[in-house]
Amino acid sequence: MTTSLTLATSRRPDGTPVLVVRGEIDMSNAGEFDAAITRAANGDAPLLVDLSAVEYLDSAGLTVLFAHASGIELVANSLLAPVLSISGLADVTTVHGL
């Protein structure tokens, strides 16, 4: 069974690509999450991945984020901020909201 996940892409007025993520990221939808990051990234500017509406992130989701760490910046909510810090992800990419 796939966990509920909504992915929406947009661009900021300055052209920065944004991926807004809502729901839960786990092994059932990590491939979909990975594909969305790959599609949304443009290579010129870091992709801003907005996780502020993510309620759950497991190791599969963290693995996806680590794989893309060099080309993304994250927006975290208070639930995810400790996970991103403890996992070391905050040491290899910019995390807003810490």
| Numbers of helices and strands, H then E, in the chain | 4, 5
Distance (Å, whole) CA 77 – CA 79 = 5
Q: Edge to edge, what strands does the sheet with 94-96 contain?
A: 5-11, 17-25, 47-57, 72-75, 94-96
Report if pTM > 0.75.
yes
Structural domains in the chain, CATH included, are: 5-77 (3.30.750.24)
pLDDT digits (tens, 9 = 90+) for 16-37: 999 999 999 999 999 999 999 9
Joined together, the tokens standing for residue 8 give 């929406």
pLDDT digits (tens, 9 = 90+) for 3-17: 799 999 999 998 899
Taking only Cα atoms into account, the Rg of the chain, rounded to an integer number of angstroms, comes to: 12
